Amino acid sequence: MKSDLRPADQVDSQAELRLLRELTQRVGSNPLLAQASTGNTSLKLDGVLWIKASGRWMADAQQNEILIPLDLAEVHQCWQRDLDPAERFPGASLETAMHALLPHAVVLHVHCVNTIAWAVRSDARAHLQQRLEGLRWRWVPYVESGLPLALAIGNSLSAGDADVFVLGNHGLVIGAENCRAAEQLLSEVGRRLAISPRQAHPADYTVLAEASTGSLWDLPDDDTVHALATDPVSRAILAGGLLYPCQAIFSNSSAPTLFRSIACSDSPNQWASRYRSRPVLLIEGRGVLISRSMTSAECAMISGLAQVVQRIPASAPIRYLTDAEIANSSSAVAYRYRELANERIGGGAGVPALSAAASGKSLAS
Ligand SMILES: [Zn+2]
């Protein structure tokens, strides 16, 4: 870090950092924008890239120091040499290269459920063209997180400057000159991409309570996730494949069977032997049960999934992740942050730190 700042500059720097922490916490506390440790923010200030640490929850940005300072010039040297800065700087967000590459002082990356509901469609670009007209935006077809995503965004800038990037099968990136402008642009994009979630039949709590008694599964705290099983359109969408990489944290295989519903006529007595490895049981027409060992990070992901799927109409042509994309993203995401998988280090008042061994994979963050 540079140390030749004048006192007034130092005050300004501290103010900007404080604004970024406040913005990060606000964004991270909105489950429609970020789930668990997904998403990240950054600020370029006096040659330093302040970026969210990998595995940390944006919602904790004011209680804990979740931003780490990196020498921006060193980060640039990495990606110019095809070296992922996330390898050079242990602990930095997996998307550090993208944050460094973008010219904006403030960069926000969110897993906005409204954006994702568009970004999983094969006709996404045409719809976005209409909805984002007048904004400087780019469509970035799916590419894995880290250096590949940063380079794809860099290529998209060859056609001219842009501040909004919709990432296929992934999420949204916003760049701006300061925190206030970034938040305003995020809000504007959110307004334009907003979709009303489909209403689903309520869960059958009697059946779910009976089925869960003495079983490996329990009722979820979030009632909205039952839509994954009670809504026939959502069941059909889930049965087709994986929509985005975060879904893959629940599975080591590309098979979408984890998210396939179970017929209610199927005897609950056989579930333990048949579905033991499933963290989530979607009981057709009745509702959802979740594994008793499910972590709060996994619960947040399931809630986010329900929000996304309820925003995809039955007629939408869906572009599922390919087997190769799932395999690549899983290895990229898990490659060295495994130990941070579901931990919420000292964060979230009342939320206990969770066992790192609870999940074999971490969230892209
Ligand atoms: Zn992401």
pLDDT bin (cut points 50, 70, 90) of residue 12 is confident
Q: How far is the CA of 46 from the centre of ligand 1 (A)?
A: 26
148 and 250 inside one domain: no
Of 148, 169, 193, the one marking the end of a domain is 193
Phi-psi region of 362 (alpha: psi -120 to 50; beta: other; left: phi over 0): beta
The answer to whether 307 and 224 are in contact (CB under 8 A) is: yes
Distances in whole angstroms, Cα of residue 365 to Cα of each of 7, 167, 187, 245, 249: 34, 14, 21, 11, 13
152 and 295 inside one domain: no
33 and 77 inside one domain: yes
Strand pairing partners for 288? 282
Question: For position 70, what pLDDT does the model report?
Answer: 97
Q: How far is the CA of 40 from the centre of ligand 1 (A)?
A: 8
Which residues, including other chains, have CB under 8 Å from residue 172's CB and lie 6 or more apart? Answer: 109, 110, 111, 112, 115, 119, 164, 165, 166, 186, 189
Cα–Cα distance for residue pair 141/119, rounded to 1 Å: 9
Per-residue tokens: 53:
């640490």
Question: For position 266, what pLDDT does the model report?
Answer: 64
183 and 94 inside one domain: yes
Cα–Cα distance for residue pair 24/60, rounded to 1 Å: 8
Residue 357 pLDDT exceeds 50: no
Q: How far is the CA of 364 from the centre of ligand 1 (A)?
A: 6
Looking at the domain assignment, is residue 291 inside a domain?
yes
Q: How far is the CA of 326 from the centre of ligand 1 (A)?
A: 14
Question: For position 9, what pLDDT does the model report?
Answer: 63
Domain ranges, residue 138: 7-193
Looking at the domain assignment, is residue 357 inside a domain?
no
Q: How far is the CA of 261 from the centre of ligand 1 (A)?
A: 27
Q: How far is the CA of 9 from the centre of ligand 1 (A)?
A: 32
Residue 188 pLDDT exceeds 70: yes
Indicate the angle between helix axes 296-309 and 232-239, nearest 10 degrees: 110
Pairing of strands 280-283, 48-52: unpaired
For the stretch 124-168, pLDDT in tens is 999 999 999 999 999 999 999 999 999 999 999 999 999 999 999
Q: How far is the CA of 291 from the centre of ligand 1 (A)?
A: 25
Per-residue tokens: 189:
């994009």
Residue 182 pLDDT exceeds 60: yes
| Lowest mean pLDDT segment, chosen from 136-145, 196-205, 257-266 | 257-266
Q: How far is the CA of 93 from the centre of ligand 1 (A)?
A: 10
184 and 78 inside one domain: yes
Residue 310 pLDDT exceeds 70: yes
For the stretch 51-72, pLDDT in tens is 999 989 999 999 999 999 999 9
Question: For position 222, what pLDDT does the model report?
Answer: 96
Q: How far is the CA of 337 from the centre of ligand 1 (A)?
A: 15
Q: How far is the CA of 231 from the centre of ligand 1 (A)?
A: 27
For the stretch 68-101, pLDDT in tens is 999 999 999 997 888 999 989 989 999 999 999 9
Position with higher pLDDT, 337 vs 24:
24
The mean pLDDT value for 314-339 works out to 74
Question: For position 364, what pLDDT does the model report?
Answer: 46
265 and 187 inside one domain: no
Q: How far is the CA of 230 from the centre of ligand 1 (A)?
A: 28
CB under 5 Å of ion ligand 1: residues: 171, 364
Q: How far is the CA of 270 from the centre of ligand 1 (A)?
A: 37
Q: How far is the CA of 94 from the centre of ligand 1 (A)?
A: 9
11 and 83 inside one domain: yes
The mean pLDDT value for 319-325 works out to 92
136 and 213 inside one domain: no
Count, residues in the chain: 365
Looking at the domain assignment, is residue 185 inside a domain?
yes
For the stretch 262-295, pLDDT in tens is 887 767 777 777 888 788 999 999 999 999 988 8
The mean pLDDT value for 229-255 works out to 83
Q: How far is the CA of 125 from the centre of ligand 1 (A)?
A: 19
Looking at the domain assignment, is residue 326 inside a domain?
no
Q: Is 345 exposed, middle or buried (0-12, 13-18, 19+ CB in 10 A)?
A: middle
Q: What is the CATH number of the domain that holds 70?
A: 3.40.225.10
Residue 245 pLDDT exceeds 60: yes
Q: How far is the CA of 149 from the centre of ligand 1 (A)?
A: 10
Q: How far is the CA of 208 from the centre of ligand 1 (A)?
A: 33
- Which helix H or strand E contains 148, and what residues bound it? helix 147-156
